[in-house]
Chain A
């Protein structure tokens, strides 16, 4: 595998940005699926009850929130790795 950090700066920036956009898109799809989609099916989901929580209500009050928190930390982690992969990390200065 070619060392991406050795590529010309412009090419590096382009590839880095493309990977970043792909990651953002994936995470936004997950974000949409956990917050907006359960609202559309809330009545059906409410028929499933776990530990007293009707699932439709649970997704709105806790389920989606937990996913949001994990998503942001994951993005920070994945981007730090991506920065390093392309030699664009602050630590490479």
Chain B
């Protein structure tokens, strides 16, 4: 029997490999045709953008329709017959969100070495997944993570707590994806943000609504192929253009060297003494580590945004920056690795504890395949993460070389293209010479509001005139018609300084610029830009798909079927699951529309929360037979409370910190609390019953037997009667 099923598996695998091989070739051919049409027939870019978006959406919908199903196993776990390699691609697409695809390289661009905590954190977590979780969860082989928690820790309380955690984490995460979908649609086909959200979501729904996990998995495979192609092409050409060598992952060492040289020349990399700790020196720059200070600007911005959008009147926290020469008691944690290490640990543990990734390992046929599948997952993720630092380095080199120190009127064309999208703005006053009064960019208006700049129309022509550049009148302090504290020789000289590159609203570029502008910088046609947009869309949609399934199954399976009504028919359960997908999608859309900065913040927090709740509980559940229900509940609640407490305190007031660890890494405090509480509460209460200890022994035996395991899965609900 084993032989025939494994040969059936390999036939299936080969068939799928053929389909997706053809699909990849087809996709490349279509892209090539578009490219030719653009170059030789002058197809307008708006149309190319639409064709790419509609074509890929139609493709996802088609896979969704082909995979539609009425079987529970297919709806929740893709029929458990996804071969390891394909599950690896699907996990890759599920995992890599709009943030990984578009924003991660930007983070590296902006904070240099310190950003590598994300690169190592989001890949190193898969080692934990492979060694500690995946094979045992596959052996368990039910539908959801709360299923595991409920069966292992005996009862509905643990199950419901886990289900609620899964819903909260997934809902914030899916909301961030929906925002990403709206932004991509807005930038590349020029539709309204709201319309973009609706269009994108309908694509997600066709797929996940009809076919659940089965459709989602096979769509994600296609989405992975699109997103990785789209990520690799621009950076390869960028590398070829800048270094003459087409393998960016190997050649960006040259970019790093150039960055270090240019930073030296431009005075951006320098070693300075800490303003508060005498004798302590910190080196700024792209490669030198640990030079980020702490502040609560994001908390202040979040409160202000909530006030303006909802008419609330919350008081934003006092601005605090660390280090601050005036407040030496706050200390200076720059130069120490603790925050980096804590953040990296939280991202790793959180990765291994996120429900939408954990459930992926229910979909493979066996324990054996599950181990391989984590390897493939990380390999496919690695391809992108291994490349992101190259994007960042090339982009930074290019900006230092070709933008900084250049005259305002003589900048590369891409700065104007992306300036229109608000991703970059050159904040030198020479750039507003001759602009009509009232039409000055918003960064100037903001300076006027804070009285740092005053504009007076002295000659009455209705325009801002700066007179000759580089000159500030000694007597009046004016440069032409502008004056004020922000008016300095450098800010009116018409030469771009590094500090003058920002966006209309912020002092640094929008990180999304790094990936989005790469095709333009490399001098590639718009088709490649549209390909990148399609890739970003694929990344956002695939993650959203996987998350909707988690939310729907947490409600329909864990809360309704397992807890409220264990007698529900298969049909009711599937109908409810489908209904919940639509409800979750609508809620996510409503949460996405105000585009709250707080949502992106919450996604970053999700890792800390998962690291302090799911990770320790699942870990102890597998590796410590004695762990029991009271221990698990105490651990989850204790871990969550400590994490949220540190998070909130530090977010509002960075003066509250331990070793300079920020709110993003607060899970590092919740995790040990969760483990200790789980151990203590387990030991002072009764050992788990024999059946549960048998379950643990069974988990450790790699021979896959789903029928045998099924009896454990239903234990929690059986107790309810």
Contacts and interface: CB of A to CB of B under 8 A. Distances in A.
Interface of A: 13, 16-17, 20, 24, 27-28, 31, 35-36, 39-40, 42-43, 46, 49-54, 56-58, 60-62, 64-66, 68-69, 71-73, 75-76, 79-80, 83, 88-93
Nearest to B377: A72
Given A62-B389, A69-B382, A39 B703 contact: no
A27 B126 CA distance: 13
A69 B116 CA distance: 17
Interface residues of B, number: 52
B568 interface: no
A27 B131 contact: yes
Nearest to A30: B127
Given A31-B128, A90-B368, 20 more contacts: A39-B341, A39-B344, A40-B337, A42-B337, A43-B289, A50-B253, A52-B252, A52-B257, A57-B116, A61-B386, A62-B249, A64-B123, A65-B119, A65-B123, A66-B382, A72-B126, A72-B127, A72-B375, A76-B374, A88-B701
Given A52-B257, A62-B389, A90-B2, A72 B700 contact: no
Contacts of A28: 127, 131
Contacts of B232: none
A43 B702 CA distance: 44
B130 interface: yes
Given A31-B127, A35-B120, A83-B368, A93 B256 contact: no
Contacts of B250: 51
Contact of B378 (A17, A35, A52, A72): A72
A86 B127 CA distance: 24
Contacts of A49: 257
A89 B127 contact: no
B2 A91 contact: yes
Contacts of B543: none
Nearest to B373: A76
Given A24-B131, A61-B389, A89-B703, A53 B344 contact: no
Contacts of A54: 256, 287
A65 B700 CA distance: 28
Given A35-B344, A64-B120, A65-B123, A57 B287 contact: yes
B266 interface: no
B386 A65 contact: yes
15 contacts: A20-B700, A35-B344, A40-B341, A42-B337, A43-B288, A57-B287, A60-B113, A61-B119, A65-B382, A73-B372, A73-B379, A90-B367, A90-B702, A91-B6, A93-B2
Contact of A68 (B126, B337, B389): B126
Nearest to A51: B253
B704 A90 contact: yes
A89 B135 CA distance: 13
A3 B337 CA distance: 50
